[in-house]
Amino acid sequence: MISVDDEKLYREKQIRVGLIEVMIVVGGFIVAYSDKAIRNLTSLIFIIFIIFALQYYIFLTRTKNEYAAFLNGFSSSIFFSFLIVMFSTEHSKGNSAINFLASFIALTASFTFALLPPIMSKDLTNKWRKKLESIEIRYPRAFKIITFLLLTACILVLIISLYNFYK
């Protein structure tokens, strides 16, 4: 009999496998529509990304080695983020090293979090939720102010990045 936890874990793994499949398709389109000047580089990065993505898939679905899955997911998110940032800077009008680096770091962090193995993801979110709840209980007013400032800063960074991208 399959328990509820096993079924939930299976669904979580399937979500991550679906994300890897979408990343492979998008990466293929990026390579296909890249400028001829950088197509060789994007092809090489895409091949490296596929190698890490396949290893991530194998470690996530076929073994219980969560740390190997995490390392391969992190590596594949680095190379996929690099593909996206290269493609976007190729088609943007204003190229800035700061925008390149900020976009690369933000994309790598978001893809890494999305590709975390289910057990690690659950542990990480539970740990942060407990810390944030304890801070909110001790300093409710300061917590609301800091949350508002952080959200405002994130929105401003997004607006500035979009402005510089379309400049």
Q: Which H, E and C letters describe 13-53, residue by residue?
A: HHHHHHHHHHHHHHHHHHHHCCCCCCHHHHHHHHHHHHHHH
- Kindly state the DSSP code that residue 93 receives in the 8-state scheme: S
Question: How many other CB atoms are found less than 10 A from the CB of residue 24?
Answer: 17
Share of the chain above pLDDT 90, in %: 22
Instruction: Report the pLDDT value the prediction gives residue 3, as an integer from 0 to 100.
Output: 64
Q: Where are the domains of the chain?
A: 4-165
By CB neighbour count within 10 A (0-12 exposed, 13-18 middle, 19+ buried), where does 128 fall? Answer: exposed
| Predicted structure pTM score | 0.75
Residue in the block written with tokens 């607006």: 159
Span 54-73, pLDDT tens digits: 999 998 888 878 888 889 99
* Amino acid (1-letter code) at residue 100: F
| Lowest-confidence pick of 3-7, 30-34, 111-115, 127-131 | 3-7
Span 72-85, pLDDT tens digits: 999 999 999 999 88
State yes or no: pLDDT of 1 exceeds 60: no
- In sequence order, the 6+-apart residues with CB closer than 8 A to the CB of 25 are none
Instruction: Quote the CA–CA distance of 43 and 28 in Å, as a whole number.
Output: 9
Mean pLDDT, residues 111-120: 83
Angle 82-84-88 from CA coordinates, rounded to 5°: 115
Instruction: Report the pLDDT value the prediction gives residue 77, as an integer from 0 to 100.
Output: 93
- Kindly state the DSSP code that residue 116 receives in the 8-state scheme: S
Mean pLDDT, residues 104-114: 86
